Amino acid sequence: MAKGKKTVYFCQNCGHEEAKWLGQCPMCKEWNTFVEERIDSGITKGTTVAARAVNEAKVVPITEVSADDDTRNKTGIKELDRVLGGGIVPGSLVLVGGDPGIGKSTLLLQVCQRMAKQQKILYISGEESQTQIKLRANRMGEFSQNLLLLCETNLGIIRSVIEKEKPELVIIDSIQTMYSEDVNSAPGSVSQVRESTNVFMQLAKGLCIPIFIVGHVTKEGTVAGPRVLEHMVDTVLYFEGDRHASYRILRAVKNTAVDRLAHFKKAAVVLNTTPRAALMGMLSKHLISVSDMCMGEQQYSKEQWDEKITDSINYFLILRAIVEEELNEED
């Protein structure tokens, strides 16, 4: 007997599901965010690819788990390591968002170029052919044979390849092109993006493999797809800037591996002051050193300038987060 299909409505903001269209989402209270999708009525939570992996799970005593700063893998790009909190944490799921053409794929290919010298890396593309990736790689220089390419969008095939090859790093470009045969909707839909992210999260945690997924952003500057996508991953990075300019800004919107805001809150408790004052103490010292570099006669390298400028930007981003949190508490 053929499986029937039913129409459901998903909120693009939070992923909430309803049987009928609503003007306002009852969960996130946003207006006009519901989209219609057709799914198989026979599909349940227990029949998806991600859910079936639960049967293969095993428990480990916490005393046998090693976790320290030495477990982080350096990308070879100093500023990216800084934003990630010191490097890539094994088993982490990292979302990289940005406008089309801003350089997300190029940045991750540069990471592959450096890390493939010592590690086995799998680059999975659903948007470019192997020839297109190779042409872009030729402009960067030599690559190690440890970098493996796979042009595929079928989630089942991708899962099998990852489990077979067991790479030490996986790049998914992009999450909007991936699809699961268990979900009867178009690639890029709310249910497909959510299911794909869930599968990659299962693979990252189960095999302890860090996975980077590329996500395109909307006109509003947020990653296309359900807002719940950002809650599912460990780290959210946004790659911003003018595509015609020489510099880009890479900022961490979320990073469960390092919370700099929490560090300043702890410092505020120790110093018996506010988080804003604790931050300004560090920021003022940093700006003085920047002023000395500008006014002095000593010549500094491009790397030294980049480091100071990036640190300044990060301090101001943390300040914005503190101010936003204070304003939210007042509301």
Lowest-confidence pick of 174-178, 179-183, 226-230, 302-306? 226-230
Question: What is the bridge-based pairing of β-strands 93-98 and 169-173?
Answer: unpaired
pLDDT for the residue 132? 94
Q: Band the pLDDT of 277: cuts 50, 70, 90.
A: confident
Q: What is the C-alpha separation between 317 and 45, in angstroms, rounded?
A: 39
Lowest-confidence pick of 56-60, 170-174, 197-201? 56-60
Q: What is the CATH number of domain 70-255?
A: 3.40.50.300
What rounded mean pLDDT belongs to the chain? 81
H or E segment and range at residue 79? helix 78-83
pLDDT for the residue 46? 41
| Long-range contact set of residues 306-309: C-beta below 8 Å, sequence gap at least 24 | 306/79, 307/78, 307/79
**Model pTM score:** 0.68
pLDDT for the residue 43? 46
Cα dist from 239 to 50, 181, 310, whole Å: 29, 31, 14
Q: Is the dihedral of CA 146, 151, 152, 153 positive or negative?
A: positive
pLDDT for the residue 47? 43
Residue 329: pLDDT over 50: yes
| Long-range contact set of residues 159-165: C-beta below 8 Å, sequence gap at least 24 | 159/49, 159/199, 159/203, 161/122, 161/124, 162/122, 162/203, 162/207, 162/209, 163/203, 163/207, 165/120, 165/122
Residue 45: pLDDT over 60: no
Rounded mean pLDDT, 282-310: 82
pLDDT for the residue 108? 95
Q: Which residues touch 95 (CB under 8 Å, ≥6 apart)?
A: 175, 212, 213, 215, 223, 229, 230, 233, 235, 236, 237
Residue 193: pLDDT over 60: yes
Q: What is the C-alpha separation between 3 and 271, in angstroms, rounded?
A: 64
Higher pLDDT, 264 or 179: 179
Residue 253: pLDDT over 50: yes
Segment 77-92, tens digit of pLDDT: 988 988 888 889 889 9
Residue 178: pLDDT over 90: yes
Structural domain boundaries of the chain? 5-42, 70-255, 261-330
